[in-house]
Amino acid sequence: MAKSPTELSAQESRLNAYVEELAQAIGHIDRHEPLRNYCKGLLLPLPRKSVEGMASLILPKRAQHMRQSMHHLVSTASWSDEDVMARVWEQVLPVLRKKGPVVAWAVDDSGIFRSGPHSVGSAVQTFGTITRAEMYQVAISLSAATWNSTMPLAHDVYMPEAWINDSERRATAGVPSSVVYRSRVEIALRQMKAALERNVDPGVVLAGINFGGHAEFRAGLERLGLTYLVNVNSDVKVWAPGTPAEKSQREAGQKPVTLQQAAEKIDQRSFKILTWKHPSTGWKFESRFAAARVRPVHRDDSRTSLQDEMWMLIEWPVREAEPVRYWLSTMPADTGLAGLVKMAKHRIITERDFDELRNTVGLGHFEGRNWRGFYHHATICMATYGFLLLERLGPSPGANPGNMELSYTPRSKSFKTRAMLAKAAGA
């Protein structure tokens, strides 16, 4: 039997109040309880956050009914993901700002392995640093970060052209007719444009080579007025440090060089050994870095001026024969080497926190196949992570999924039996 409000823990009462604010954006009052149960289930000690498992853990005697209502909320009900996320930001961002300003936005792509091509967007493709093409559902994500915390802002499925052009699969998965093909770069830029329109505090955009390596991505950030520090390939062409800005002042025949060539011309005494700490393990790392002001070739036109310069940041470990990483950045010209490196390595915290969102809070656990289900599940996961962040910033610094003071029926020997019976009954 469900606890009365007076019997609830303070933490569960705060969760209910938080979810009630979100529920105002999803319409029907009949959806409020399923939303509360879904958020609660994502915080409970389940290795995989399936609807069936969450329902069986929260209220075993009514698991079938609860499962149906939660499934309907996510896979069928029509409500605005954008409006719910706006309510999340309204509650979380002010608290986040009190602990420190937003310093960065992080863009990333992640994949969920799928056994077949029927889940929306699933195709043989790669993502992130995964170079082996297999059947994945790939999503593009955006997070805002302070120096100590991150807050998810967006999570969109990437739709390969084969999906966009397959009317039968689109219809089966419920893909809206308004959805057209967009590259991963285009999706990320649209996410940031939407965040700006929602008045989310901007930060320095951090991105791996899958995004930063594209000139159109960097140009898109500049059009949005966003500062960035992104990984790029070693063969990006720039005018070497010290090259005059005006064409008339350059030596005859002077040509651009690759980042690698520019790095090799930097005096080795300019490279400094700097350290940083991994936010999860606390382990310290060190490497050798140097930075110089350069101008990418795509900026070389009649309007070129010294203001077009940007930072080239190079990581060249002592024992390596050549640099291992390159970044381009539009951070201010007076930014020191330590400041550039600190920001570049800050991607670690965003990757750590998004990994928790994906694997512990359940973002990567959705078992449905349709478009609406993918987005509704992602929205509720990000909203739940927002509550977890509030707890960590406020009354419960050590809050983690699975150890929260939430009422539920502890797992027992009968848990597996109940789950099997529910599945057999069509749950």
Average pLDDT, the chain: 88
Summarised one tens digit per residue, pLDDT across range 293-317 is: 998 886 544 344 434 789 999 999 9
E strand map for 13-129: 104-113, 123-127
- Strand pairing of 123-127 and 130-145? antiparallel
Q: Helix crossing, 32-42 with 10-23: angle to 10°?
A: 130
Please give the backbone phi and psi of residue 193, each rounded to the nearest 5 degrees, phi first.
Answer: -60, -45
* 415 pLDDT more than 70: no
Count CB neighbours of 195 within 10 A: 21
pLDDT at 104: 97
Alpha-carbon distance of 394 to 409, in angstroms, equals: 27
**Structural contact between residues 250 and 242, judged by C-beta atoms closer than 8 angstroms:** no
pLDDT at 416 over 70: no
Long-range own/partner contacts, residues 257-262 (CB < 8 A, 24 or more apart): 258/234, 259/232, 259/233, 259/234, 259/235, 259/294, 259/312, 259/314, 259/326, 260/234, 260/235, 260/322, 260/323, 260/326, 262/238, 262/292, 262/294, 262/312
**Measured in whole angstroms, how far is the alpha carbon of residue 40 from the centre of its chain?**
22
pLDDT given for residue 135 in this prediction: 87
Of 300, 327, 302, the residue nearest 316 (C-alpha): 327
- How confident is the model over 54-102, as pLDDT tens digits? 999 998 888 999 999 999 999 999 999 999 999 999 999 999 999 999 9
Compute CA distances 175 → 111, 128, 188, 314, 364, whole Å: 19, 25, 19, 43, 20
Residue, of 390 and 133, whose pLDDT is higher: 390
Residue 124 clears pLDDT 80, i.e. is over it? yes
Question: Who wins on pLDDT, 42 or 8?
Answer: 42
For the full predicted model, state whether its pTM sits above 0.75: yes
Of the given ranges (15-19, 72-76, 183-187, 252-256), which has the lowest mean pLDDT?
Answer: 252-256
Q: Closest by alpha carbon to 113, among 99, 89, 134, 97?
A: 134
Distance, CA of 389 to CA of 154 (rounded, Å): 16
User: Of 24, 26, 19, 65, which is closest to residue 43 (Cα–Cα)?
Assistant: 19
**201-205-211 Cα angle (round to 5):** 140
